Structure 1
């Protein structure tokens, strides 16, 4: 398993290994897991990018990693389930199974990952400066709002 594998980084970079229960009972006495090593690498890269130049970081617990910085705008973009399900079918051709079930599964894994590495609740408005509903406002308008605030 290599961190050079883009698919591995995409999947492991936002989800706890094997789900929340597996991660809760993982024996780390034998050393850090690949997921822990990936977390440390992402942490370092996010910090370095933020130090070097203006950037946009989506996910990866960046709000937590950069919580001590005053020059960051922390945004949570969300939408209701039907909007999200329709979008992944339209944009990504999602057909593997029920788009709603797939989204719920991904959200559950993201929330577990976020809780595991930050000890905070994923999607909690208190962790962000702004929360935008892209299902109501629209994706393009959300982007314009974010750009105007940045």
Structure 2
């Protein structure tokens, strides 16, 4: 069976987003990354930057989330906390986009949301911390925080968010069909492997 839907989960700085976009281009299908954030923002009326941030932050980790959290005593939208409301919309949008046809999803727990589909290829991209640290400095520049700290904080947020909404461990090989070390293999080889598996009958 051809794997028409590809989900790319990735460690920060591993190049997973770049790999996802290149895979989509090679296959001639849409890649949903920033586009997914934009659609969720449009449907909820919330700022894109806020939606993107909350797509990785642990629920209740910001003052705004706490202010609207049902646990904090205040109810958000439709009786849900802001975090849970965004998750519900994101969940629905991802499933609807998958129904439209072949595509690539980057992040957003798409691997879990689409876990029951038989036409999916779920990929996790990782790399050694040194490789990832070098990449984020090259791409995003220096900051007050050391690269290793930036990696640790970003991955911790993703891990906590994933665990909260899926009950599973982010990055655990059993949750994916394919785990790739982009530092050892190179981005181009990762793309070749994913495309090859996606096109395999």
Same fold (TM over 0.5): yes
Partner of 1:86: 134
Partner of 1:135: 183
2:60–2:83 CA contact under 8 A, matched in 1: no
Aligned residues: 148
Partner of 1:38: 86
Structure 2 unaligned segments of length 5 or more: list them: 1-40
| 1:3 CA drift (Å) | 4.7
Question: TM-score normalised to the size of structure 1?
Answer: 0.89
CA distance in structure 1 between the partners assigned to 2:133 and 2:45 by the alignment: 30
User: Secondary structure of the equivalent of 1:14?
Assistant: coil
Calculate the aligned-residue CA RMSD, in Å: 2.3
Q: How does 1:1-150 map to 2 (within 5 A)?
A: 3-19=45-61, 27=71, 30=75, 31-150=79-198
Q: Which aligned segments of 4 or more residues in structure 1 are displaced greater than 4 angstroms?
A: 1-4
CA distance in structure 1 between the partners assigned to 2:85 and 2:124 by the alignment: 26
CA distance in structure 2 between the partners assigned to 1:120 and 1:77 by the alignment: 17
Choose 8-17 or 108-117, whichever is displaced more.
Answer: 8-17
Question: TM-score normalised to the size of structure 2?
Answer: 0.67
| Higher relative contact order (CA closer than 8 Å, sequence separation 6+) | 2
